[in-house]
Structure 1
Amino acid sequence: MNQPLNRIDGQPSLSERAYQQIRDAIMQGRLESGRRLVYRTLAEELGISPTPVRDAIQRLVSDGALQLDDRGVAYVPVLTAETYIETINLRLTLESMAAAAVAAMPDGREAIADQLAEIHERVARAQREGRPVDALFGNEQFHFVYLRAAGMPILEGLVRSLWLRCGPSLRLVYNKGFKPLSVHPHVRLIEAIRKGDAASARHAVEADLKYAGKHILAQLDPHARSPENWD
């Protein structure tokens, strides 16, 4: 039987690696809303030619993570309150579903909880030491540990796409006096997974996204009202 495709050997292409780096920077909020992404400037930062950067940018435009202006220059979209609310509501549904699935697993929960606890401690330390970039990176790791552990790759892909769309807003969580809850929802999620309590795992993720979401929404648009389901 003839194979329709040939095997590809070797390391990821330069365009793939550029895509991963730029995508990660968007997801972690390191590229702010409205920022223009010039091929040659990015190529110099990455130490590669503009061609793979152009390929990476085109992929991210197709993903909805970037947009093109009238001159064809890519930029990070400015997130509106309406888009942010829709994105967070979708994340609420999908991420809480994944967390509940992990807590309902018959085996392996303790190892997942241990991994989450280690990452959460790194995030908390980065926050205390005033390292927001490291905290954002750790927060992304935390969420995608339980998303991957849920064993639902389609759901994980959908959530990754949503993170791309709201990534530029994530840095706002550390702005203007954000005060963490007395018991962080991450801690509640870890405890729920250890106990096998799917309902509590779902509620912990919802509390996490809603609390941070209100703070970010107020900065995106001081006049916007958070949805009733965020209360």
Structure 2
Amino acid sequence: MKLNYKINGTGQPIIFIHGLFGNLDNLGVLAREYANDYQIIQIDLRNHGLSPWSDEMNYQLMATDVLALINELALDHIILIGHSMGGKVAMTLTQYIADLIAQVVILDIAPVSYASDSHNKVFQALDACFNAPVSGRSNMHNIMSEYLPEHTIQFLLKSYKADKWLFNFRAISRHYADIRGWSEIARYNQPVLFIRGGSSDYIIDEYYSDILMQFPYASIETVVGAGHNVHMAKPQDVIALINSWIK
């Protein structure tokens, strides 16, 4: 699948990979930090943003999509930075292109399967939106306000343009078990930086053994006071950790 992407700058490439229900702009606060010194590549994963939709969706397919773009752009010595679902895509890529990767940074996700109800309210809200007889941003906001806090609504509305949702909600719903799940991959015997939000439950202490089993040279850093969207809550803290890692 040919993914939609945005590319800026020159130098060593950094690929930014967004999370579930996101798009290529979601890691923009980080991408802007490195735009003067690196080649910045922000992508829309399948069924998100302006990339094509598909009835099929799992981490092997999403990683293969990104790999096709890497080959198209003839990239090498790549830095991968992935958040949440995008972090799992980045982890999956390590088993395919270890020789092309220079650094990997994973934002608040672990190589584990998560509880099936972790996005329950989001799915209820979006299902109500997709079944509503009305359209329009204000109507979508009002519908979601019955289920979700304002910050989550604003995040989702970033993917609502011209009275249309940019993500394939039906396909994502059908494959949610694949998205929240995880299949063990080959060990990646190179350093990987995991950055966890101190107030998030996506990387809890019990998951450290799972991380180290597949990424034995991983470093795990905590940003105190940040939740799952750690890069939005404490961008300068995250940037400082990334700088110390890649520089």
TM-score of Structure 1 vs Structure 2, range by shorter chain: under 0.3
Q: Give the TM-score normalised by structure 1.
A: 0.28
Q: Give the TM-score normalised by structure 2.
A: 0.27
Tell me which protein shows more helix as a share of its residues: 1
User: Larger radius of gyration, structure 1 or 2?
Assistant: 1
